[in-house]
Amino acid sequence: MGFTDTRFNVNLSILFTELPLLERPAAARAAGFTAVELWWPWVDAPVPDPAETAALRAALDDAGTRLVGLNFYAGQLPGPDRGALSLPGAESERFRANVPVAVEFARSLGCTSFNALYGNRVEGVSEAEQDELALENLAFAARAVAEVEGTLLIEALNAPESPRCPIVSAPRAIEVVDAVNAATGLDNARFLMDLYHLSMNGEDLHEVIDRYTAKTAHVQIADNPGRGAPGTGDLDFADLLDRLTKAGYDGWTGLEYKPGDGPSAGAFAWLPAPLRAAS
């Protein structure tokens, strides 16, 4: 596989999870990676003890790994994701409380890319009310991200695994991106193109790349079926990543796949070591 024009980072919330959180940056660096991303690491604490964020910051710095992407609080991941954005009351308040904490933590590490997961539909509240609140919360997050000249990412999940999520297609995610930008006037919301989720939805990945690369600020990959490493399923990543490059994409591509039965360090044989370290 030829990926010489792709900048890869590894997601430490799905890979290296056999290790404690603070040991994962060093393990990723030992595997050759210099850039990492994270889901919000403290699933029950949108506002963790400052000592915990300081410890993770030190672990990333000590390992020589650069944080290039961070999720806002979304509850327990992988799913079922909670409706943090769209559920009135305490859950929405937890999301809003997390935003400035996450922005400051990421900013201190030079990271300005933030993923805000929409969450699931909830019982007892109309879809229109949920969507209205979600847009308000996304606009709130976009304004906070703008203070660090950052980007707010909107991701489409997949319907088979997240049947209650209202964003399960690239066109729907783009609608939300456009709505957030219209609401704020900041133009800092962008699409997170997760090729695994889109493939699970049965979307034409070539068409998605051709239509939406201009509005894409981050890419994530896993093979399908199985959500394993490239080469374990049917997706042709050499073709897909080459198509992204030709469409003008030059951002990060996050490895967000399951490592399989063995340790995570053994899940990168498909990617030559010189291509793991990215500037």
pLDDT tens for each residue of 71-127: 999 876 555 555 567 777 888 899 999 999 999 999 999 999 999 998 888 888 899
Residue 30 phi/psi, 5-degree rounding, is -65, -30
Residue-level pLDDT at 210: 98
Alpha-carbon gap, residue 229 to 6, rounded angstroms: 16
Question: Are residues 191 and 217 in contact, defined by beta-carbon separation less than 8 angstroms?
Answer: yes
Residue-level pLDDT at 77: 56
Alpha-carbon gap, residue 94 to 46, rounded angstroms: 6
pLDDT digits (tens, 9 = 90+) for 32-71: 999 999 999 998 899 999 999 999 999 999 999 999 999 9
- The residue ranges of every structural domain in the chain are 7-267
Q: Which of 37, 91, 203, 256 is catalytic?
A: 256
Residue 232 has pLDDT above 80, yes or no: yes
CATH 3.20.20.70 for domain 7-267, yes or no, is no
Residue-level pLDDT at 74: 87
Alpha-carbon gap, residue 196 to 202, rounded angstroms: 10
146 pLDDT band, cuts 50/70/90, is: very high
Average pLDDT on 225-247 reads 97
Average pLDDT on 223-228 reads 98
279 pLDDT band, cuts 50/70/90, is: low
State the DSSP code for 148: T
Residue-level pLDDT at 120: 86
251 pLDDT band, cuts 50/70/90, is: very high
SS3 content of the chain, % helix, strand, coil (to 5): 40, 15, 45
Question: Are residues 162 and 194 in contact, defined by beta-carbon separation less than 8 angstroms?
Answer: no
Residue 2 has pLDDT above 70, yes or no: no
Helix (H) or strand (E) holding 70: strand 66-71
pTM for the model: 0.96
Alpha-carbon gap, residue 119 to 163, rounded angstroms: 11
Q: How many residues does the chain have?
A: 279
Q: Which of 155, 161, 203, 207 is catalytic?
A: 155
256: annotated active-site residue: yes
